[in-house]
Amino acid sequence: MKEQIIEALKTVYDPEIPVDIYALGLVYDIRINNGAAEIDMTMTSPTCPMADEIMDEAKLVVSEIPGINEVKINLVWDPPWDLSRMSEEARLELDLTDAGW
């Protein structure tokens, strides 16, 4: 079921960045217990104007997975997000090289 959640989260994009939230490294942890999913995630910045929208969309897509009856999204800031959390594919998509981080 965790793989289904990851696949669902890969459909959620930060509107300001053309990369999904999972590839961006915004998802820190996924826990599942008796149909309840709890997800720890962050934003690229504490002042992200789209934070509520991104979290609402993440909650919606995960709640549509058969067998998930509850979704809780925890917005966390520790550890702080940085470019090293991004997947290699996301860095290539955004044309970020090792020299930039």
**Ranges of each domain in the chain:** 2-79
Class of domain 2-79: alpha beta
* pTM, two decimal places: 0.89
Within 10 angstroms of residue 42's Cβ, the number of other Cβ atoms is 23
pLDDT tens-place string over residues 46-95: 998 999 999 999 999 999 999 999 999 999 999 999 888 999 888 888 88
Q: In what order do the strands lie in the sheet with 36-41?
A: 27-33, 36-41, 70-75
pLDDT tens-place string over residues 11-22: 999 888 889 999
